[in-house]
Amino acid sequence: MASLRNLFRRAARTCSAALLLTAATLSCPAQTTIKLAADSWMPFNGTPGVQPEGILIDVVKKAFAEAGLSVEYTNMPWARAVDMARKGAIDGVIGATPGDASDFIFPKEVIISSGSTVFTPAASPWKYDGAPSLVGITLGAVLDYSYGDAIDEYIRGHKESGKVQFVGGDTALDQLIQMMDRDRVGGIVESEAVFLWKLREMKLEPAKFKAHAVSPPEPTYIAFSPKNPKAQELATLLDKGVTTLKTNGELAKMLDKYGLK
C-alpha cells in the first residue's frame, strides 16, 4: 500500500511539473520583434521612421517580415549600440564588420560592401602611401569604428599621440567635417558612400575634398548579439530573406534607390 501511495505521489508531482512547464511556455511567447540599433550612417542606415531609412534597414525589415517578424530600429552612438548588444539589451547592431564586433553572430549573405577612404581638403598636398603615411596628417575618426586591418592597427598605435582625433555620438561625422574646416584635423577616414551622402545633407561641394582610397570594400552586416541564444537562428532567417530578395531581383532595385551597387 505504501508503494502504491508513493506511485501516486510521483505521478502527481510529474503532472504538476508538466502543468507548470506549460504555463511558463504560454506566458513566454516567441519573440516577434527584433531590436536593432546603430548611429545614423546613410545611405546604409539613417533616422528611424524618416524616409529613406537606408538600404540595410529596408532589407532587414523586408527579410524579417517574410518570417513574421518586425524590426524595432533605434539610433544611438555606435559604441553604445555595440555595448548594449554585447550585453544582450538589444538583439543586434546595423552596419557592422567583424572588425567592429568579432564575437557577434554574422549572417553569411552579403547585402552591401564598403571600404574606407581618407578625405582631405582639395588643396592639401598630402597623399596616401600606405598606413604609415597617415602620420603626415591629424586623422579624424569615429569612436570605436573599424576601418580595415591596416587603418585599425595604425589607429591603435597612435591614439595616444594626438595624431588621431576621435568623435562619438549621433553627429560624429558632421563634427569631424566641421573640425576639418577649422584645420583641427587634416583628414577624415570614412566610407566614400557615407561621406558623399553627408556632404549632400550639409550642402557642401564634393569638389572641395580629395578622396584617398585606403582599404578595399568588405561586407557590411547586421550582426547579432552573442548573448541572444537565438542569434544564429536570426542570422539564418535574415540569410533566407536576403537570398529571396537577390533571386527575385528586388535587392538590386533597393540598392539602385540609394545609388549603390
Whichever domain contains 125, its CATH number is 3.40.190.10
Count of domains for the chain: 2
Query: Which helix (DSSP H) or strand (DSSP E) does residue 94 occupy?
Result: strand 92-96
- Alpha-carbon span 35 to 89, nearest angstrom: 9
Tell whether the torsion through CA atoms of 226, 103, 157 and 75 is positive or negative. negative
pLDDT digits (tens, 9 = 90+) for 172-222: 999 999 999 999 999 999 999 999 999 999 999 999 999 999 999 999 999
Residues 145 and 107 both lie in one domain: no
Residues 223 and 102 both lie in one domain: yes
Buried b (16+ CB within 10 A) or exposed e, 114-129: bbbbbbbeeebebebe
Query: Quick check: 258 pLDDT over 50?
Result: yes
Residues 44 and 126 both lie in one domain: no
Q: Residue 40: helix, strand or coil by DSSP?
A: coil
Question: For residue 17, is it within any domain?
Answer: no
Residues 223 and 98 both lie in one domain: yes
**Neighbour tally for 135: CB within 10 Å:** 12
Query: Looking at residue 115, what DSSP letter applies?
Result: E
Question: For residue 49, is it within any domain?
Answer: yes
Residues 179 and 228 both lie in one domain: no
Residues 124 and 213 both lie in one domain: yes
**Non-local CB neighbours of 217 within 8 Å, separated by 6+ positions:** 113, 114, 115
The one-letter code for the residue type at 131 is A
Q: Which domain holds residue 196?
A: 114-217
Question: For residue 6, is it within any domain?
Answer: no
Q: How confident is the model at residue 31 (pLDDT cuts 50, 70, 90)?
A: confident
Question: For residue 23, is it within any domain?
Answer: no
Assess contact for 144 and 82: CB atoms under 8 A.
yes
Q: Residue 167: helix, strand or coil by DSSP?
A: strand
Q: How confident is the model at residue 170 (pLDDT cuts 50, 70, 90)?
A: confident
Residues 150 and 175 both lie in one domain: yes
Assess contact for 230 and 31: CB atoms under 8 A.
yes
pLDDT digits (tens, 9 = 90+) for 136-159: 999 999 999 999 999 999 999 998
**Non-local CB neighbours of 21 within 8 Å, separated by 6+ positions:** none
Grid coordinates in use for 218? Answer: 568588405
Residues 80 and 205 both lie in one domain: no
Q: Is 187 or 2 the better-scoring residue by pLDDT?
A: 187
Grid coordinates in use for 210? Answer: 580629395
Query: Quick check: 3 pLDDT over 70?
Result: no
Alpha carbons within 13 A on the beta-carbon side of 141: 24
Assess contact for 37 and 85: CB atoms under 8 A.
yes
The percentage of the chain sitting over the pLDDT mark of 70, rounded to a whole number, equals 89
Residue 215's pLDDT is what? 92
Residues 119 and 107 both lie in one domain: no
Residues 203 and 227 both lie in one domain: no
